[in-house]
Structure 1
Amino acid sequence: MCSQITAHSKTFNSSADELLKELQSRANMGTLCMDLHLHTAGSFDCLSDPDAVLDTALEQGLGRIAITDHNELDVALQMADAYPDLVIPGEEIKTEESIDVIGLYLSELIPKGTPAIETIERIREQGGIPYLPHPYAAGKKGAGGRFAEKLAPLCDVVEIFNARLHQPKQNRLAGELAERHGSLCGAGSDAHTLGELGSVSVEVQPHPNQASALRLALAKGRITGSVSSHLVHIASTWAKFRKKFPIAQT
């Protein structure tokens, strides 16, 4: 069972060597801090350079991140190949039901529009972890919980804290859902900007960057998080506009 508290993560403004020393110190103390749900420029609504995302995550004290771009896997695979101990390759899939399901440790893209149950099956076929994000989010993200009870038993992990949800009830209901079904607990900043990184930390024992090891680690995980500013949604809207109407370079 993982616990959840609200706290701001510590910011590190240090050199690369100092950052590595800090991460090693955390590892020696038996702590690995992760963010299991975030985005890069691989997503249609994000402009964040992938390397800048990783650098910022490390500066914020995170030791491993899951890159979960919307309906895209290329960036996640490239970053996981370049930084095999630091990056989990994932994808946030928009299903036929217009809700999101995340696959962690994927090697092949799962197409947008795949039915939710089939999406979960495809994640498992790849040896990945089915992860149910923001199950009680309104609208197209979670359909207000309409599919929560159906999908939670089929997923290994339920996201009990998402920093982009501004109604506390939505995260609270997700925590209760995970408890009812005995699910592992996950959390993510859902960051679409660099400034959101570090708002959430899933603290676990250090472990190999493998699906089976993450499952074991999450069983004794601890989650800390703080809700992001409402302004982050403006940044996502701006990113979508920029990508739809690129500014010509002169």
Structure 2
Amino acid sequence: MIKVDLHIHTFYSPDANTTFEELTDRCRVLGLGAIAIADHGTVEGALDYIKTGPPVKVIVAEEILTPHGEIMGMFLKETIPSGFSVDETIKAIREQDGLVCIPHPFDPVRSSALDSRVLEQLAEAHKVDILETVNARYVFNSSIRQARKFAESQRLLPGAGSDAHSAEEIGSVYLEMADFNNKAQFLEALRKARIYGRNRSPFVHVSSIARKIKKNITGR
């Protein structure tokens, strides 16, 4: 069994600042066996981190912004541009033989959460593989309860992650699951995974906004 955090951002995201060195250190300290790097609007962070020879398995992922909210593509090979429709985005993920994951659903305070009506339509059409049922940045536990109930009713695989935008957030939520070497093994392991961890303080959102503003001003 390994510990897996399925939602991590690096400094490639405009509102995150985790360096590769910090990411490696935290993975070693926490004993993580695999992570999904899901930067906003790019897979370059994940691909570049893999080149460093990390001590963990890395799932190349991306949070892609559509007009109705974010969709996460997993096991990607290249960046999918933001701004396309929900259907176009899912088609682009499938063309890379990727998985469709819906991050932080039913979060009333996050504007990037996918519209719940759109999520229902996608689930009914069997276009979603994974629903992130636990996200460490949820402000309300009711979001977790609603996501878990929806995943169960729609028979979606439940995912979980820290949604870390800084090094200290990594691993605050993780899954314990069987080791895997490919997408098929990952899906099978996810079916029997257990979720552990806790929510972070709501102030982490303030820190993310501050980092984004600073990067916009400095250009870094």
Distance 1:156 1:173 in 2: 17
Matched, 1:159 2:135: no
How far residue 146 of structure 1 moved from its aligned partner, in angstroms, is 3.2
Q: Look up the SS of the partner of 1:77 in the other structure.
A: helix
Mark the CA change 1:247 to 1:96 in structure 2 (over 3 Å): closer, same or farther: closer
Structure 1 stretches of 4+ with a deviation exceeding 3 A read 81-85
Aligned to 1:38: 8
Q: Which residue is 1:149 aligned to?
A: 120
Matched, 1:214 2:182: no
The residue number in structure 1 matching 2:24 is: 54
Once residues 221 and 62 of structure 1 are traced to their aligned partners in structure 2, the CA distance between those partners, rounded to angstroms, is: 14
Counterpart residue type for residue 22 of structure 2: A
| 1:132/1:151 contact within 8 Å kept | no
The residue type paired with residue 131 of structure 2 is V
State the AA in 1 paired with 2:122.
Answer: L
Q: Deviations over 1:76-135 (max 9, x none)?
A: 1112344475211110000122x0100111111111111112211211111111111111
Structure 2 unaligned segments of length 5 or more: list them. none
In 2: Cα distance, 1:136 partner to 1:121 partner: 23
Name the residue aligned to 1:241: 213
CA drift of 1:37 comes to: 0.8
Aligned amino acid, residue 222 of structure 1:
R
Aligned equivalent of 2:151: 178
TM-score (norm 2): 0.92
Select 1:119's aligned residue among 89, 97, 109: 89
Distance, in Å, in 1 between the alignment partners of 2:183 and 2:21 is 23
CA–CA distance in 2 between the matches of 1:95 and 1:108? 17
RMSD (CA atoms): 1.8
Matched residue, 1:191: 164
Shift of 1:140: 2.1
Contact 1:80/1:89 (CA < 8 Å) preserved in 2? no
Deviations 1:47-75 (A, max 9, x none): 11123123212311211110000001111
Cα distance in 1 between the residues matched to 2:38 and 2:114:
20
- The unaligned stretches of length 5 or more in structure 1 are 1-30
Looking at structure 1, the residues matched to 66 and 74 of structure 2 have their Cα atoms a distance apart, in angstroms, of: 16
Could you report, residue by residue, the CA deviation over 1:135-181 in whole angstroms, capped at 9, with x for unpaired residues? Answer: 11124222562322123331111100001001111111111111011
Q: Return the alpha-carbon distance in structure 2 between the equivalents of residues 144 and 74 of structure 1.
A: 27
Give, in angstroms, the shift of residue 236 of structure 1. Answer: 0.4
Identity %: 37
Q: Which of these residues, 29, 45, 70, is aligned with residue 100 of structure 1? A: 70
**Which residue is 2:60 aligned to?**
89
